């Protein structure tokens, strides 16, 4: 139980240390919107989203005002749209994306996720059509986010899908070049994607989820950093882990409270708390700074992966003691452009893409919001996706790639997305060609640890 001191400390985290509920996300199943006629399917989608989510923003804002807890984003995740395309004759996936965008604007949310395909073991009807349309769909919309799951521990890695995604990412950057290449900033390529993820750009409402539910994603790297800065002097690493665990417990409790309140007021089941430490470009609200408080000179130096492993484990242990319903990604995010400390580390040369890949083995996702030179070959992007998927597959964890080729820019230049997506330096990437490897296609078999039945 929390005592008065703990409650007051949580209030201080909110007022002084950037603690917030990063998102309240409503997951909505669109399976009952399937129709052979694409126009009718889009009409059903629009009606269902605008009906189910009509009070989401107002309710979240009322809870925020009543309890003094900032709720930064209100979002929607939907059934992977490729599943609906499977039964539509002559469908244009971009029309579905435009429908999602219009519905999201109608109800006032920040983003809608689910322009997605799950192809870890192969392509079914609708999957290729959706994937090929992703660049145009992201260019034509403002609020739509897209994801593709190309691998899993159980299925292996679909290298045909991996081969497709490099050119898709590059094309998404090219056709949004006049808008800071924003297209690929709204596109995530996963291995082991969770079905209940409330965080964009990777959110979708999995087919195993209920018809409608509420998920909460909490934040709090600023609060963890402040706790370490104020109390960690003289502590060994076991004591540091205990301090992080206690802080994560309080953060998760707050998320659980908000989720329960919004769920009850909307009459929608509560899903999960995703207790990921999600940074922002704000000073001090940085996962990199948390690692540096543990004793690293700069994030990315030797020792960074070990420190991140400690942080991730302690956050999860504290979170699961605070809520029975922890899910999503849950851990520490390392998006470069969204984290002021990561930006500084990349600019000074301490943090490289190779180090980020190593950190992937112990963090929540992987190569996230990393800006690369605009002339990077598509097969290099595909190979980077394959590397990250391999880490996720072998380690039975979620990994992801969200890279942005900065068209017309080279290493050392910067790209600014504005808002929560932040800005960052263009980072160097290995230019030696993996083209023959990617061109082989096929499927990398599932590892031995997949045989757990």
User: How far is 139 from 134, CA to CA, in rounded Å?
Assistant: 8
Q: Are strands 111-118 and 71-78 parallel, antiparallel or unpaired?
A: parallel
What average pLDDT does this structure show over 237-245?
A: 91
Whether 335 shows a pLDDT value over 80: the answer reads yes
The segment(s) of the chain belonging to CATH 3.20.70.20 are 27-191, 217-450
* Predicted confidence (pLDDT) per residue in 243-293, tens digit: 998 888 888 888 888 889 999 999 999 998 888 887 777 777 788 999 999
Whether 336 shows a pLDDT value over 80: the answer reads yes
Band (pLDDT 50/70/90 cuts) for residue 14 is: low
273's tokens? 């708390």
Whether 96 shows a pLDDT value over 60: the answer reads yes
> Can you give the pLDDT at residue 9?
53
Per the model's pLDDT, the better-predicted residue between 79 and 235 turns out to be 79
Architecture of the 217-450 domain:
Alpha-Beta Barrel (3.20)
Average pLDDT of the chain is 90
Q: Is 73 left (phi over 0), alpha (psi -120 to 50) or beta?
A: beta
DSSP output for 400-439: EEEEEEETT--TT-EEE--GGG-EEEBPP---S--HHHHH
What average pLDDT does this structure show over 61-89?
A: 90
Architecture of the 27-191 domain:
Alpha-Beta Barrel (3.20)
Q: Which of 122-131, 182-191, 312-321, 399-408 has the lowest mean pLDDT?
A: 312-321
Q: Which of 4-8, 188-192, 282-286, 309-313 has the lowest mean pLDDT?
A: 4-8
Whether 231 shows a pLDDT value over 90: the answer reads no
Q: Is the separation of the CB atoms in 156 and 445 below 8 Å?
A: yes
- The pTM assigned to this predicted structure is 0.91
* Distances 217 to 203, 269, 337, 450 between C-alpha atoms, Å: 11, 16, 19, 29
Whether 8 shows a pLDDT value over 70: the answer reads no
* Predicted confidence (pLDDT) per residue in 338-377, tens digit: 888 999 999 999 999 999 999 999 987 889 999 999 999 9
What average pLDDT does this structure show over 159-171?
A: 97
Q: Is 117 left (phi over 0), alpha (psi -120 to 50) or beta?
A: beta
Whether 314 shows a pLDDT value over 60: the answer reads yes
> Can you give the pLDDT at residue 18?
54
* Predicted confidence (pLDDT) per residue in 367-404, tens digit: 999 999 999 999 999 999 999 999 999 999 999 999 99
> Can you give the pLDDT at residue 419?
76
Whether 332 shows a pLDDT value over 50: the answer reads yes
> Can you give the pLDDT at residue 88?
86
> Can you give the pLDDT at residue 318?
86
Whether 117 shows a pLDDT value over 60: the answer reads yes
């Amino acid at each position: 139980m929390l005592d008065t001191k703990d409650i007051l400390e949580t209030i201080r985290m909110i007022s002084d240390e950037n603690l917030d509920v990063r998102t309240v996300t409503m997951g909505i199943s669109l399976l009952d919107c399937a129709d052979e006629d694409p126009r009718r399917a889009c009409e059903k989608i629009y009606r269902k989203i605008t009906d189910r989510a009509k009070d989401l923003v107002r309710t979240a804002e009322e809870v925020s005002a009543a309890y003094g807890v900032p709720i930064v984003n209100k979002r929607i995740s939907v059934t992977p749209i490729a599943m609906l395309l499977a039964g539509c004759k002559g469908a244009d996936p971009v029309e579905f994306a435009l429908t999602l965008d219009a519905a999201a604007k109608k109800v006032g949310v920040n983003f809608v996720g689910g322009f997605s395909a799950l192809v870890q073991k192969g392509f079914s009807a609708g999957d290729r059509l959706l994937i090929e349309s992703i660049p145009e769909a992201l260019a034509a919309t403002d609020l739509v986010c897209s994801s593709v799951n190309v691998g899993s521990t159980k299925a292996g890695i679909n290298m045909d899908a991996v081969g497709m995604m490099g050119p898709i990412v590059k094309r998404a950057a090219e056709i949004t070049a006049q808008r800071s290449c924003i297209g690929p900033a709204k596109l995530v390529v996963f291995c082991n994607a969770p079905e209940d993820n409330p965080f964009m750009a990777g959110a979708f409402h999995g087919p195993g989820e209920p018809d409608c539910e509420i998920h909460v994603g909490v934040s709090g790297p600023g609060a963890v950093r402040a706790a370490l800065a104020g109390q960690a002097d003289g502590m060994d690493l076991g004591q540091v882990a205990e301090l992080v665990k206690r802080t994560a417990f309080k953060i998760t409790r707050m998320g659980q409270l908000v989720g329960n309140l919004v769920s009850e007021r909307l009459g929608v089941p509560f899903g999960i708390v995703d207790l990921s430490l999600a940074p922002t470009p704000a000073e001090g609200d940085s996962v990199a700074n948390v690692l540096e408080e543990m004793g690293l000179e700069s994030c990315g130096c030797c020792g960074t992966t070990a420190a991140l492993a400690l942080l991730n484990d302690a956050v999860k242990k504290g979170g699961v003691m605070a809520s029975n319903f922890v899910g999503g990604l849950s851990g520490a995010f390392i998006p470069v452009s969204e984290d002021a400390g990561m930006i500084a580390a990349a600019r000074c040369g301490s943090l490289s893409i190779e180090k980020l890949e190593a950190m992937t083995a112990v963090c929540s996702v992987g190569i996230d919001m990393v800006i690369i030179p605009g002339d990077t070959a598509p097969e290099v992007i595909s190979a980077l996706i394959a590397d990250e998927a391999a880490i996720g597959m072998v380690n039975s964890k979620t990994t992801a790639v969200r890279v942005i080729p900065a068209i017309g820019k080279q290493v050392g230049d910067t790209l600014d997305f504005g808002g929560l997506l932040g800005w960052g330096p263009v980072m160097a990437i290995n230019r030696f060609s993996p083209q023959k490897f990617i061109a082989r296609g096929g499927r990398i078999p599932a590892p031995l640890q997949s045989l757990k039945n």
